[in-house]
């Protein structure tokens, strides 16, 4: 049975408190995603040469993006582990652990010897650290998203949830900006030997963000009320029950919602990593668009800046009109835009390239903006971290993990048109998934089974 978590004593957060929660979440997720996406840029531009020098260029690029995919293989496991503890010990503590893990693993990547120094051990260690990044991001998203959406007023869950979602495009901006500044400030030789390491070493800032959250943030009201109910039940011998794993409870109660959430996320992930990672390799390749590395990085940076306000608008729109309509519109437009994307990039014109990537990210943002609120509303409080994280991370591994690698193979073995078809198929699957979900924007988050 579903019961309200003491609605008579629900607290309405002050606007200033909500802004602090939202901005803290934005800072934390931005730096976390910066680390994760920094690897994407390096996998396209640096790692093939430094960690896979013994094979031809195409194979090195595929292997490099293969290590990139390991982060996605780890994400569902991170979602399971952090989801379990997020529903047990709280959103805040779990988020702090995830941020610390990301900061340490990314800093270590910046200190890693290359193939020329330690041979085959170099790509192996790189893969291990990428796996650790995946574990961290698998836990981070659920904690940051719930810290905001569970604290927000009911009629602004989408809007405030978009702050956590904005961490992704802000992270892309920071990662690309770091590479642009370093690569244009030093010689190519220094960049390939030491310069690329500097953006990774800067990840140590995440440790400071973690400490700030520990000292200045409270856990969400919904989780604290759940703790109170569970405490009351444990003191009542007639109601005491053995504790079950939140992740197993989520799978038992909501298997359909978890799978449909993963399906809804598919288009976002496939398209996003084509637009921010594969496009760098394609655009700067002489057999592709043949544009300079810096120009492609700047184009992705500008497009990510355009994405943020449209993403926030879409999330606010979903607060007033529902999550499904704007999400479905985004899936349709994303699928169709894939066929305009590469002809525009192939012109070699910087403005056309920036416009092509920008529109792709705008349409994608129509889905990604409302997603935090949508996934929050799909699950009851005691399994919300687990259910939302599992749906999100399953979609991530199915969609994003191998998207750049698949795109490389489709482009090299067939033609770039097949990459557009790949985007379309993912968008159709997401459209079907979101159509099969119920509307959630008027649901009560302060409920538990």
Summarize pLDDT for 380-420 with one digit per residue, the tens: 878 888 888 888 888 888 887 788 889 989 998 999 999 99
The CATH code that applies to domain 13-229+243-437 is 1.20.1250.20
Mean pLDDT of 120-136: 90
Q: Out of 14-28, 312-326, 431-445, which region has the weakest mean confidence (pLDDT)?
A: 14-28
Domain spans of the chain, in order of start: 13-229+243-437
Helix (H) or strand (E) holding 447: strand 447-448
Mean pLDDT of 85-112: 80
Q: Are 370 and 327 in contact (CB under 8 A)?
A: yes
Between 43 and 437, residue with greater pLDDT: 437
Mean pLDDT of 15-27: 76
Could you write out the three-class secondary structure of 380-401? CHHHHHHHHHHHHHHHHHHHHC
> Is the confidence at residue 37, as pLDDT, over 60?
yes
Give me the chain's average pLDDT, please: 83
Q: Out of 236-240, 388-392, 432-436, which region has the weakest mean confidence (pLDDT)?
A: 236-240
Mean pLDDT of 141-165: 84
- Where residue 6 falls (left for φ over 0; alpha for ψ -120 to 50; beta otherwise) is left
Q: What is the pLDDT confidence band of residue 51, given thresholds at 50, 70 and 90? A: very high
CA distance 142 to 18: 18
Token look-up 């702090």 returns 96
Q: Collect all residues with Cβ–Cβ distance below 8 Å to 119 and sequence separation of at least 6.
A: none
Mean pLDDT of 84-105: 77
Whole-angstrom CA distances from 396 to 8, 78, 134, 393, 441 are: 39, 12, 10, 5, 23
């Amino acid at each position: 049975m579903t019961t309200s978590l003491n609605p008579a004593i629900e607290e309405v957060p002050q606007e200033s408190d909500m802004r602090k929660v939202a901005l803290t979440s934005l800072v934390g997720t931005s730096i976390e995603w910066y680390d994760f996406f920094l690897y994407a840029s390096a996998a396209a531009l640096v790692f093939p040469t430094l960690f896979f020098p013994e094979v031809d260029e195409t194979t090195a690029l595929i292997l490099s993006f293969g290590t990139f995919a390991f982060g996605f293989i780890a994400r569902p496991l991170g979602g399971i582990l952090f989801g379990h503890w997020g529903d047990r010990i709280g959103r805040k503590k779990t988020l702090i652990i995830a941020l610390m893990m990301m900061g340490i693993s990314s800093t270590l990547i910046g200190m890693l010897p290359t193939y020329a120094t330690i041979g085959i051990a170099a790509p192996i260690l790189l893969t291990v650290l990428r796996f650790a990044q995946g574990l961290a991001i698998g836990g981070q998203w659920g904690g940051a998203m719930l810290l905001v959406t569970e604290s927000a007023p009911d009629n602004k869950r989408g809007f405030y949830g978009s702050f956590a979602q904005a961490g992704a495009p802000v992270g892309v901006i920071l990662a690309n900006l770091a590479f642009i500044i370093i690569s244009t400030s030093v010689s190519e030789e220094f960049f390939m030997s030491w310069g690329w390491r500097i953006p990774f070493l800067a990840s140590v800032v995440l440790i400071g963000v973690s400490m700030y959250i520990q000292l200045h943030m409270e856990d969400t009201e919904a989780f604290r009320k759940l703790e109170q109910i569970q405490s009351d039940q444990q003191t009542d011998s007639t109601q005491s029950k053995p504790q079950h794993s939140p992740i197993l409870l989520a799978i038992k109660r909501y298997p359909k919602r978890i799978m449909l959430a993963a399906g809804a996320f598919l288009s976002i992930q496939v398209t996003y990593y084509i637009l921010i990672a594969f496009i760098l390799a394609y655009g700067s390749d002489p057999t592709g668009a043949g544009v300079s590395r810096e120009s492609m990085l700047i184009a992705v940076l500008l497009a990510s800046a355009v994405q943020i306000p449209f993403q926030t608008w879409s999330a606010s729109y979903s607060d007033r009109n529902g999550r499904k309509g704007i999400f479905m519109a985004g899936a349709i437009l994303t699928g169709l835009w894939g066929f305009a994307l590469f002809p525009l990039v192939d012109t070699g014109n910087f403005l056309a390239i920036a416009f092509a990537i920008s529109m792709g990210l705008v349409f994608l943002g129509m889905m990604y903006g409302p997603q935090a609120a949508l996934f929050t509303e799909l699950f009851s409080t005691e399994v919300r971290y687990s259910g939302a994280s599992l749906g999100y991370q399953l979609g991530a591994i199915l969609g994003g993990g191998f998207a750049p690698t698949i795109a490389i193979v489709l482009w090299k073995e067939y033609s770039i048109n097949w990459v557009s078809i790949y985007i379309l198929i993912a968008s159709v699957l997401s459209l079907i998934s979101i159509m099969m979900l119920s509307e959630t924007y008027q649901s009560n988050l302060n409920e538990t089974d």
